[in-house]
Amino acid sequence: MLNWALPAGCCGLIFDCDGTLVDSMPLHYQAWVTVLRRYNLDFPEARFYQWAGVPVEEIVRRLAAAQGLMVDAKAIAEERDYYFHSLPQSALRPVDAVVDIVRRFHGQLPLAVATGSTQASAEASLRGIGILNWFDAVVSSHDVGRPKPSPDVFLVAAERIAAAPANCVAFEDGDAGLQAAREAGMRVVDIRPWLPHRRAE
């Protein structure tokens, strides 16, 4: 178990989902590659991790613009999500170091999820590893306005658990999410050094 200490004055913990609570990134990348191949779009794996936390539709727009292609970003995003949910969810694993923190503070502090995925996708992943009911709120940037790196999803998550942003700690594995949490005024934990197969650059 990771020996992480709760900062003084902390009144709430907020977690990203994919790559932070759930080791779903390899499965997500498999879905991306399979679907984008149908549209002649390339998505290098390094960029996939760099863009962690960016909404699916925005990623499609960025890739198409960079590769000079005109596509229906919304339709491709929906196809990618559908394909992801068709994959065996038994392949999902908890990120043990982070889930241990959730386990320690569940019932002691309000806990929320602030995700760049859709709420349905995040809830399915959390349910898949058996921790969905540990959270007091699950908030998707799709439902609150501007996506990460804007702070909206973290601010709404803090509001849902009745905690001042300055008194929250946010856990993230992506640059966009880390920026969003900092702009929300939260203390931030970059969890990438805790992952055995990924390291913060």
Q: Which residues contact 200 (CB under 8 A, 6 or more apart)?
A: 190, 192, 193
Q: What is the pLDDT of residues 130-173, one digit of tens each?
A: 999 999 999 998 888 888 999 999 999 999 999 999 999 999 99
Considering the chain, tell me which residue range(s) the CATH 3.40.50.1000 domain(s) occupy: 12-23+92-194
Considering the chain, tell me which residue range(s) the CATH 1.10.150 domain(s) occupy: 25-89
- 12-23+92-194 folds as Rossmann fold (3.40.50)
Pick the CATH number of 25-89 from 1.20.120, 2.60.120, 3.30.450, 1.10.150: 1.10.150
Q: What is the pLDDT of residues 49-101, one digit of tens each?
A: 888 878 889 999 999 999 999 999 999 999 998 998 888 877 889 999 999 99
List 16, 23, 152, 175, catalytic entry? 16
Helix (H) / strand (E) containing 140: strand 137-140
pLDDT confidence of residue 7: 94
Q: What is the pLDDT of residues 90-129, one digit of tens each?
A: 788 999 999 999 999 999 999 999 998 888 889 989 998 9
Annotated active-site residue 16? The verdict is yes
Predicted TM-score (pTM) of this structure: 0.86
Tell me the C-alpha distance between 121 and 192, whole Å.
22
